[in-house]
Amino acid sequence: FHKRNSCRKLAQLPNNLQKLRVRGGLEPRSPAATSALPSNGSNLTPSDVERCYEIGRVIGDGNFAEVRECRRRHDDQILAVKIVERSKLTGREHMMQNELSLLGSLCHPRVVQLLAHHHTQTHSYLVMELVGGGDLFEAISDRGRFSEAEAGLMVLDVSDALSYIHSKSIVHRDLKPENLLVGVRLGDFGLAMVVTEPVFTICGTPTYVAPEILPSRGRPPAKVRGGSRQVQQNR
């Protein structure tokens, strides 16, 4: 999903990939005395949201939403907020409910954390932790290449994230560099789902989709395959 935008051995990555906030972003201020919005609140107004969050610059965008930096006023914490224009989800409302349900059930250092979500008549706001450094696609574009050691650490982190969600019978269905935040954290669960029986739906990003998905013959439920353990053994 992201198009722009506590890791083990993160110091091995370039300094510009380690920054929590990049130049031009929001700066912390003294905490303001404001009433916190109810988490999972609905039927709010834009003024309610602005009263509790200072919305900043765009750090990511996609077909249905954009991601902005924001400052939570009551504790001055810098976060990210995914702002979804609800009219663009007409007929796809299940995607929003699915993402909220799945992200709300996950807690892992390699999966981006959903902190709260709020809804007005026209927009939904998904407040998440801010992962600095952008996405892996941007990092590859900037660097051109990574060393074998750096790439190995990234593969290990992605394997840990996938092993965790697969243990909960969740499949991501849109794994690609744009959905991996430098750190490494797995993000954008808009197409993810719980799989308990073979799935025949063709989905994902055409340039990244796995070949076995295209024949639409059905895929079995997700299983933990010990991927991260295998990476560790090969290091």
Strands (E), 90-231: 114-119, 123-129, 170-171, 180-181, 185-186, 193-194
Flag whether 82 is marked binding.
yes
Q: CB of 131 within 8 A of CB of 111?
A: no
Residue 75 bears catalytic tag: no
Q: Give the separation between CA 176 and CA 106, rounded to whole angstroms.
A: 20
Query: Using the 8-state DSSP alphabet, how is residue 181 labeled?
Result: E
Catalytic residue selected from 157, 160, 174, 188: 174
> In sequence order, what E strands does 3-122 have?
53-61, 65-72, 77-85, 114-119
- Tokens 């750090």, residue? 59
Q: How far apart are CA 5 and CA 33, in angstroms?
A: 30
Distances (CA, A) of 133 to 16, 181, 209: 7, 7, 25
Q: Which amino acid is at 16?
A: N
- Catalytic annotation, residues: 174
- Report the binding-site residues: 82
- Report the binding-site residues for ATP: 82
